[in-house]
Amino acid sequence: MDLDPTTARLIDANLNRAREGIRVLEELARLALDDPALAESAKRLRHELRAAFDTPSLRRAIRCRDIEGDVGTTLETQAEYSRSDLGDVATAAAKRVGESLRVLEECAKTFDPVVARAVEQLRYRSYELERKLTITRDARVRFAEVRLYVIITESECHHDWCDTAVAAIDGGADCIQLREKTLPDGLLLERGRRLRELCASRDVLLVINDRPDIARIVQADGVHLGQDDMSVVEARRIVAPGTSIGLSTHNQQQIEAAIQARPDYIAIGPMFPTTIKPQSTPLGPEIVRETMAKTGLPIVPIGGIDREGAERLAEVGARCVCVCRAVIASRDPAAAAESIRKPLSDAARQ
């Protein structure tokens, strides 16, 4: 069956628009977000759309293409030539995909309900792809705004662990990590849920140490991996879309490997001598400057950082530091957090 020329032109134009838009989303997922799962979802969507229209009669739709006679080629708006950032690019591409798939679906209803149903399902999947891309990008943007990242470990706290977390947030912590390596899963879940409620009420990020499964269950904003934990790729298969993944590094070789692994942030330490890991050789602030010159990933210095250390790190370009005992072992965690955060906040405003 040959399509009438008008339907053929509609299908040809919107098939091109949809595939172009999906390709934009695929490239953003692959090269801007470094997210293999999202890139694969976009690629699969693009190929299945092509397959849905891969019949002799539909392939002949290109014969009705008429660029010179298309009145739409001269219609334009000022907004279509302006994008504020890659987020705007993604939004525009996703809307273009959805609109084009709707046209294709409606046209297919005139000649093949099977194709129409297939395109309908592809349209729903494009909506979900847009959602996941948006969530992932927003999470990256939000983490980039973190200045003070505080680890909560009960055994190191001077006060009750939850009261300490509240005080740290009062003092300016905008990311809290729950690190309890010996707690049974049930208690870890309970504690994670309590911190999730606290952090959500204060618009603070929550990160779970080591456990992508626990992070997913409690709906944490991130999970932090050590060198002996599962890989970044494996963790992404477990956590929800938009969950930030951090990776600890302790020497130049590990830093280079982390850059290739593309987590959402790289922790480097210890920066200075620390009682938590006294056997580790301090790396010093200069490695932060060197690493930032190699990657655009957020770099989070950790280890032995106090107010003076935060000042030194801010001088080499750090915009976020991670601390543990300097805040949670203090008699006044709020004041300690405020003191350490100040040089980072001052540097970010410059």
Q: What is the pLDDT of residues 27-38, one digit of tens each?
A: 999 888 878 888
**How does DSSP classify residue 275?**
S
Q: Which of 37-41, 152-156, 328-332 has the lowest mean pLDDT?
A: 37-41
How far apart CA 300 and CA 54 sit, in angstroms, is: 49
**Domain closes at, from 107, 141, 175:** 141
The CATH number assigned to the domain holding 254 equals 3.20.20.70
Please choose, from the candidates 219, 220, 223, the residue with its C-alpha nearest in 3D space to the C-alpha of residue 210.
223
Residue 101 — pLDDT band, cuts 50, 70, 90?
very high
Residues 229 and 306 occupy one common structural domain: yes
Dist. CA 70–CA 283, nearest whole Å? 63
Whether the model pTM is above 0.95: no
Predicted pLDDT at 84:
83
My answer on whether 200 and 333 are in the same domain is: yes
**What's the mean pLDDT in 305-318?**
96
61 with 127, same domain: the answer is: yes
Give the tokens for residue 135: 């969530």
Output the DSSP codes for 20-38. HHHHHHHHIIIIIS--HHH
Distance CA 243, CA 113 (A): 39
Q: What is the dihedral of CA 154, 156, 162, 168, to 10 degrees?
A: -150
**Mean predicted lDDT score pLDDT of the chain:** 91
Same domain? 165 vs 240: yes
Radius of gyration of the chain (CA): 25
SS3 of 60, please?
Answer: helix
Strands (E), 170-236: 175-178, 205-209, 222-225
Mean pLDDT of 92-111: 95
Reading the block at residue 303, the tokens are: 């280890």
Strands (E) located in 242-326 = 244-249, 265-268, 299-301, 321-323
Q: Amino acid identity of 287?
A: I
pLDDT of 332 higher than 90: yes
Q: How many domains does the chain have?
A: 2
- Same-domain check for residues 59 and 162: no
The confidence band for 154, taking pLDDT boundaries of 50, 70 and 90, is: very high
Q: Are residues 127 and 154 in the same domain?
A: no
**102: confidence class by pLDDT, cuts 50, 70, 90:** very high
- Domain range spanning residue 17? 5-141
Q: Which of 175, 157, 172, 177 is nearest to 330 (CA)?
A: 157
Please give the residue that has the higher pLDDT: either 136 or 227: 227
For tokens 């759309």, the residue is: 49
Query: Which one of 87, 110, 141 terminates a domain?
Result: 141
Higher pLDDT, 180 or 295: 180
pLDDT category, 279, cuts 50, 70, 90?
A: low
Claim to verify: residue 167 and residue 61 sit in the same structural domain: no
State the Cα angle at 139 between 134 and 144, rounded to 5°: 130
Dihedral of alpha carbons 219, 235, 34, 124, sign: negative
The stretch 246-268 carries a mean pLDDT of 94
* CATH number (domain holding residue 37): 1.20.1260
Confidence at residue 276, expressed as pLDDT on a 0 to 100 scale: 66
pLDDT surpassing 60 at residue 119: yes
Work out whether the CA dihedral 322, 240, 119, 60 comes out positive or negative.
positive
Domain co-membership, 125 together with 62: yes
CB 302 within 8 A of CB 336: no
DSSP state of 273: -
Instruction: Name the amino acid, one letter, at 345.
Output: S
**In the predicted structure, residue 68 carries a pLDDT above the cut 90:** no
CA 189 to chain centre: 23
Q: What's the sign of the alpha-carbon dihedral 178, 179, 185, 186?
A: negative
- Are 166 and 194 in contact by the 8 Å Cβ rule? The answer is no
Residue type, position 297, single letter = L
Note whether 172 and 296 are same-domain residues.
yes
Q: Which of 141, 165, 185 is the last residue of a domain?
A: 141
Q: Is the pLDDT of residue 1 over 60?
A: no
3-state secondary structure of 135: helix
pLDDT reported for residue 74 = 64
Q: Which amino acid, one-letter code, is at 25?
A: L
160 with 58, same domain: the answer is no
pLDDT reported for residue 225: 98
pLDDT band at 268 (very low <50, low <70, confident <90, very high): very high
Task: State whether 318 and 341 are in the same domain.
Answer: yes
Assess whether 114 and 192 both reside in one domain.
no
Smallest Cα–Cα separation from 327: which of 208, 102, 176, 105? 176
pLDDT at 79: 66
